[in-house]
Amino acid sequence: MAWNILIVDDSSLTRKRIRRIIEMADLDIGEFLDAENGEEALKILEDSPVDLVLSDLNMPKMGGAEMVQRMKSREATKSIPVVVISTESKTSRLTKLLAEGVRDYLHKPFTPEEFKETMQTLWAKPETNTSNLLAQALVQSLETMALVTAVPVDDDMVVPEETVLAQIDFSGAKKGAIQMLAGMDLCGILAENIAALDTINDQAALDALKELSNVTCGLFLPLVVSSTADVFDITVPKVATCDNAPQWTEFVADGNTFVLNIEGHAIAARLTVEDAAMTTETN
Amino acid sequence: MKIKDFSGIRNNGSLPDPQDVHIPGDSEDMLDDYVESANSMLDEIEQAALAYEAGNNSKENVAAIRRLLHKIKGESSMMGAAEISEFCHQAEFAFEELDDNQRPDMLLRFKDWVDTAMSDLAGRA
C-alpha cells in the first residue's frame, strides 16, 4: 500500500528536506501533503486521505501536542498514526505524547535509514491503543483504591533512585505482562492508603505495589478482550527490587510505557502484549 | 565529527570561526533555500533584539525570539549543519540565563556570527 504522508512543520525548508529524506528511503509512498501548523493540518485531514502524519512540536497557532489531542478526539482522525519529529531529545514531554497516542518520534536530523526503520516498526506493530487503556486502568486504580490523584508528568517530578518492580503475567486470547515501577517512597504512600497501616515497612510497600498491579490488570484486561472470550490465568506477581536510576531510564524508553505523576512521585507502567493465536503459530 | 565549543555565546567568550562550517554533500542542493530562510530570520532577530534593547521585553517579543532561535536550530539540524544547530542551542541557553541588559548584545552577536557563516555558505552554493 502506498502511504499518503502529511508533513507538519512551520519551516518550508524543513518540510522540503523531510520529503527529500523520505524519498531517499525507497519506500512505497503515495502523495505528500504539507501544513505549516496543527490547525492547517487538521483542515487537510478533514478533506484528504492521510495514512501517516509527521509533525514538529513547536509551531505558531497550533503546536504538535494540541494537534495530536484534537486528532485523538475525532473519530475520523484518531487512528491515523503520528510520528513526532523534533530537535528535543527524550523528554518528559515526548514521553507524555507517546502515552497519549503518538506512535514514535524521530530526532532531527534523521537519515533515510532511520526513517525506514521507524516505518517498518510502525507497519509491523499496528496500533492497539492498549497503552492508553492501561493508563486509564492505572489511574482508576490509583484514584479509587489508593486515594491519590494522578496527573501528567512535569519537570518537578521526583524520579526515584530506589525503585521497586512488580510484574503481572497474563494469558488467554492475549498473552503478555504488565510491569509497574515506582520508588519506595511512593510505595509507602500506597501501602498507607491501601492498607491503612500505621507502620510502613519495605514488605508492606512491595505488597501495595503488587496489589495495585493486580487491580490495574483486572481493570485493564476486560477492556482489551471480549468479556465472553476467555478466562485469564494471571500468575502470582513476582517482585524485583532495583536500586538505581538506569532501570528507570530503560522503563521510559518505548511507546508502550507511560509515566504518571502521583503527588510529585513518578510511577511507570509498561505493557507487553501479543495475540495468543500468534504465539501458538510461532510454537 | 567533533562538535566545536560554542559556549562562548553564554559568557561573551570566544567563538569558533564562522567561515569554517561543515555542510554534508547531500544537503548542498538546498543551500540557497537554507541561506535565504536563515537570512530572513536573522533580520527578524536583529529587529527583535533592537526592540528589546529599546525596552520592548514584552511576552510577544520574547516568544518571537525564542521561536526564531528554535527555528534556525531546526532548519540547521535538518540540513546537517550540526555546528550552527549547536550554536543556536547554546544561544537558547544564553537567552534564558542572561538578564534583560545582556540579552540584546548576545542576540546581535549571535546574528553577526550566523550572518558571516551564511555569507560563507552562499559563496559555496
b/e per residue, A57-92, with b = 16+ CB within 10 A?
bbbeebbbbbbbebbbeeeebeebbbbbbbbeeeeb
Same domain, A117 and A240: no
**Adjacent-strand bridge partners of A175:** A274
Residues A158 and A104 in one domain: no
Give B29's Cβ-side CA count (13 Å radius): 4
Q: Which domain holds residue A278?
A: 130-282
Examine the domain organization and report whether A261 and A149 are in the same domain.
yes
Residue A147 has pLDDT above 90, yes or no: no
pLDDT one-digit tens code per residue, A65-105: 899 989 988 888 888 899 999 887 656 677 777 767 788 88
CATH code for position A22: 3.40.50.2300
CA-CA-CA-CA torsion sign (B58, B59, B64, B69) = positive
User: Among candidates A135, A129, A100, which has minimal Cα distance to A269?
Assistant: A135
- Chain B residues whose CB is inside 8 A of the A108 CB are 74, 77-78
Contact check, Cβ <8 Å, A10/B71? yes
Rounded to an integer, the average pLDDT of A259-264 is: 77
pLDDT digits (tens, 9 = 90+) for B7-41: 999 998 999 999 999 988 888 889 999 999 999 99
Q: Quote the minimal CA–CA distance from B17 to chain A in Å.
A: 23
pLDDT at position A231 is 45
- Predicted confidence at residue B90, as pLDDT, reads 94
Average the pLDDT over A6-24 and give the result: 94
B28-124: CATH architecture: Up-down Bundle (1.20)
- Regarding whether A151 and A26 lie in a shared domain, the answer is no
Give the separation between CA A145 and CA A168, rounded to whole angstroms.
Answer: 18
* Region label for B12, one of left (φ > 0), alpha (ψ between -120 and 50) or beta (otherwise): left
The pLDDT of residue A11 is 94
Residues of chain B with pLDDT under 70: 1-2, 125
> In the β-sheet with A104-107, what is the strand arrangement from edge to edge?
A29-35, A3-8, A52-55, A82-86, A104-107
pLDDT 10s digits, A158-178? 667 777 888 888 776 667 788
CA B57 to each of CA A279, B41, B43, B61, B122: distance values in angstroms, whole numbers, following the listed order: 61, 19, 18, 6, 33
Q: In chain B, where are the structural domains located?
A: 28-124
User: How far apart (Å, rounded) are the C-alpha atoms in residues B68 and A85?
Assistant: 18
ipTM: 0.87
Sign of CA dihedral A193, A195, A197, A203: negative
CATH number, domain of A222, equals 3.40.1550.10
Last residue of a domain, one of A124, A147, A182: A124
- Provide, as residue numbers in chain B, all residues whose Cβ is less than 8 Å from the Cβ of A11: 37, 71, 74-75, 78
* Domain identity same for A70 and A162: no
Partner-chain contact A14 B78, CB within 8 Å: yes
Give the model's pLDDT for residue A173: 63
Q: Number of folded domains in chain A?
A: 2
In this structure, are A155 and A234 located in the same domain?
yes
Of B26, B30, B70, the CB nearest to A58: B70
Nearest CA in chain B to A58: B67
Contact B80 A109 (CB under 8 A): yes
d(CA A227, CA A212): 22
Q: Nearest by CB to A14, from B67, B75, B80: name it.
A: B75
b (16+ CB within 10 A) / e for A149-183: ebeebeeebebbeebbbbbbbbbeebbbbbbbbbb
Residue type, A178: I
Average pLDDT over residues A228-235: 47
Please tell me which residue, A171 or A51, carries the higher pLDDT value. A51
Same domain, A119 and A157: no
Would the CB atoms of A16 and B33 count as touching at under 8 Å?
yes
Q: Do A120 and A172 fall within a single domain? A: no
- State the DSSP code for A52: E
More confident residue, B98 or A273: B98
Q: Tell whether A66 and A146 lie within a shared domain.
A: no
- Judge if A120 and A134 occupy the same domain: no
* Among A124, A142, A177, residue at a domain's last position: A124
Residues 6+ apart with CB under 8 A from B114: B18, B38, B42, B72, B84, B87
Matching residue, cell 524543513: A14
User: pLDDT value at position A152?
Assistant: 61
Closest among A88, A126, A11, A146 to B75, alpha carbons compared: A11
Higher pLDDT, A244 or A169: A169
Residue bearing the bigger pLDDT, A158 or A29: A29
How many angstroms separate the CA atoms of B30 and B34, rounded? 6
Q: pLDDT band for A283, please (50, 70, 90 cuts).
A: very low
User: B70: nearest CA in chain A?
Assistant: A58
Q: How confident is the model at residue A54 (pLDDT cuts 50, 70, 90)?
A: very high
CB-nearest partner of A16 from B30, B70, B77: B30
* Same domain, residue pair A12 and A35: yes
Distance between B77 CA and the closest CA of chain A, angstroms: 5
pLDDT of residue A55: 95
Residue A128 banded pLDDT, cuts 50, 70, 90: low
- Same structural domain for residues A149 and A56? no
Place of cell 509551531: A59
> At a CB cut-off of 8 Å and minimum separation 6, what does B67 contact?
A58, A60
Q: What is the pLDDT, as a whole number, of residue A254?
A: 62
> What pLDDT was estimated at residue A211?
84
